[in-house]
A and B are shown apart, each in its own frame.
Chain A
Amino acid sequence: MKTTANIFKRHSYREIWLRAEALLALALILEVILFTLYGRRFSTWDNWMNILRHSAEIGLLAVALTPVIWTGGIDLSVGSTLGLSAVAFGQLWRDAGMDPWLAGVASVGVGTICGAINGALIVWIRIPPLIVTLGTYSLFRGFAEALAKGVDTFTGFPEGFLWIGSGQWLGIPVQIWIFSCVALMYVTADWKTVLGRNWKAIGCSEQAAYLSGINIQKYVFSAYLMAGTVAGIAAITYSSRLGSIKADAGFGYELLAITAVGLGGVRLSGGKGSVLGATLGVLALGILNNGLGRTPLTMNYSSELGGVLTGALLIGAIALSVRRGSP
């Protein structure tokens, strides 16, 4: 059923493009055409930047989840990690009086520690990823709530910090630059280094990867560690965009990010898919929600319809790719 052979083939990327991502790109183009025709002020520069700005956090999480899912694992705790990092940032900046930039670096560190905890439990105690991250999903969110005493809200950040979430550089929102850097890093890891290949090999067949001398523990651990770091970065852009932090920051983001990854043609049982696909998945979700809100017919029900359509789209995409024999 699972074949290790085809991921080592030279033209494998073209094959994958022909399957899931091409379909998704088609759906994306369709979305854009429909919303441009029927939506109000949909295809304007400002609105495009708006869509990208609001997709940044889900995008960061989705890109970081991709390698985790490649290895055949899953990380349900990224939303909670985002919440814990954000609350840690708020406390370090406001209560400990730290410089906001220093606090930002520290909160990315908090995210990294969260990722390391996930990775350590999965790799060394050998608990299935679904369970570990389900546990830390509660644990990290619980710590965020306990740190914020349930109701505390952090707000009134300095101008310079708010620039990350609402400012622009060369006409493009700052968080898009951040997202692009992270995504580029993952794409490079996928296409140009041994990392991507080994991650996927582990997901295809752990036994085979082990027997061919891949250090499974190292690669699996690194995927979770990096997911934690990126969730910490997403915490910064999130707090800066909203201008306030509560303990529920990023609640439910993990499932949105997994949806985007699945939509982007990454096989959720591991071994297949691309970072670009996951990014396209995020874009598809972002455009859908924004476009529905700008079309007079659906304006009042945009978020609800968006959810229903997301579900339908996800099942449709997977059903089509199953018929073509890909997942």
Chain B
Amino acid sequence: MKKTVHEISVAVTLLLLLGAMAIWTPSFYDPQPLLSRTTSAVPKMMIAVGVSLALVTRHIDISTGSMLAICCSVMGMISQTGHGWTLTWAAGIGVGMALGAVNGALIAGLGLPSIIVTLAMMFALREGVRLWTQGVFINLKPNAQWFGLEMVSAQWAIVVAGLSLTLAVVWSSRFLTVGRYFYLIGSDPESAFEAGLPVRRITFMSFVLNGTLVGLAAGLTVAQAPQVDPGIGQGLELEMIAAAVVGGIAVNGGRGRLWGVMVGMALLVCIAPALTYMGVAAYWEKAIQGVIILAAVSAEGIRKSGTQISIGNLD
């Protein structure tokens, strides 16, 4: 109980917000808009969980927004040329995996700092996708949107598929041995190495898993619109880290629960509609997001203060 104080207080905040909206703006709960909002938030949640795994192993990934753009564009291009869903999805997930593997190879293999590698990847991939598509929207075949299903059932499919995948990762991180390895490495890489864990291989795996989740999220994103915007995911990378932090992941590794990240992400995506329904101008969204991030971590900081000198290192 004591260890989950942070996650529970974030969850309570979310519930309070949802409760307040139930009382003052019940129209927030109209089924169709609610389902649509949930559908568009699910891919983000998947990526946030992947990024959190990188943070747990004491690394960082700020290339997710650009990776998402590449995966979506690849899937769009393939689906446009009339190939079936199997190839499209295989390509999207494959590209995500490959990009994650490149990150992982540079970080775990060559031992380069993750912040630099993913920063460079962020630039290179973002501009690479612009070079390739020239920013032109990719129109999909008419039956490609919503998997050719009816909208509502496709939305349910996306929500169920996305959430169960995310929950599977969350569950594995808690109850599978390999999941605990991520935490062991993050809390003390040297001890983990001395204890005989394959530190490099597991670090590599965490980036590959992250890339795979981005690929899957790309699939669920592409299915939601009649066309693919190659500029998608701009600024996503920092939003993902914000969700992880609000959800209680420690940026210096080894601590935090992935279900907290799901709650954190849910809280962040609720702000914009909450503002709209409560009649506050939408341009306050970013400021309030900032306040939430700082409030979430200040509470943590004040609770812990006095127990450590460290002001915090990045690596």
Chain A residues with a Cβ under 8 A of chain B: 71-74, 76, 121-123, 125-132, 134-143, 145-146, 148-150, 206-207, 210, 216, 220, 247, 255, 258-259, 262, 268-270, 301, 303-308, 310-312, 314-315, 318-319, 322, 327
B277-301 residues at the A interface, CB under 8 angstroms: 281-291, 293-294, 297-298, 300-301
Q: Does B131 contact A (CB under 8 A)?
A: yes
Which residue from B119, B281, B285 sits with its C-beta under 8 Å from A149?
B281
Q: Given A207-B309, A269-B113, A307-B126 in contact, is the A127-B301 Cβ separation under 8 Å?
A: yes
- Chain A residues within 8 Å of B119, by CB: 255, 258-259, 262, 314
B100-154 residues at the A interface, CB under 8 angstroms: 106, 110-113, 115-117, 119-128, 130-131
Max chain A Cβ within 10 angstroms of own Cβ: one of B106, B245, B282: B245
How far apart are the CA atoms of A129 and B313 in the complex, in Å?
8
How far apart are the CA atoms of A143 and B285 in the complex, in Å?
10
**Total B residues in contact with A, Cβ cutoff 8 Å:** 56
Residue of B nearest to A117 (CB): B294
Additional pairs, 14, CB under 8 Å, beyond known A126-B308, A210-B309, A314-B123 = A126-B311, A128-B251, A128-B312, A129-B314, A130-B241, A138-B287, A306-B127, A308-B123, A308-B127, A310-B124, A311-B122, A312-B124, A315-B112, A322-B111
- Chain A residues within 8 Å of B291, by CB: 135, 139
Q: Given A142-B286, A150-B281 in contact, is the A216-B123 Cβ separation under 8 Å?
A: no
- Chain A residues within 8 Å of B286, by CB: 138-139, 141-142, 145
Contact A268 B113 (CB under 8 A): yes
Max chain B Cβ within 10 angstroms of own Cβ: one of A73, A141, A142: A142
- Chain A residues within 8 Å of B106, by CB: 315, 319
How far apart are the CA atoms of A73 and B282 in the complex, in Å?
32
- Chain A residues within 8 Å of B238, by CB: 76, 134, 137
Contact B251 A131 (CB under 8 A): yes
Residue of B nearest to A128 (CB): B312
- Chain B residues within 8 Å of A131, by CB: 245, 251, 293, 297
Contact A318 B287 (CB under 8 A): no
Q: Given A126-B301, A135-B293, A140-B290 in contact, is the A312-B120 Cβ separation under 8 Å?
A: yes
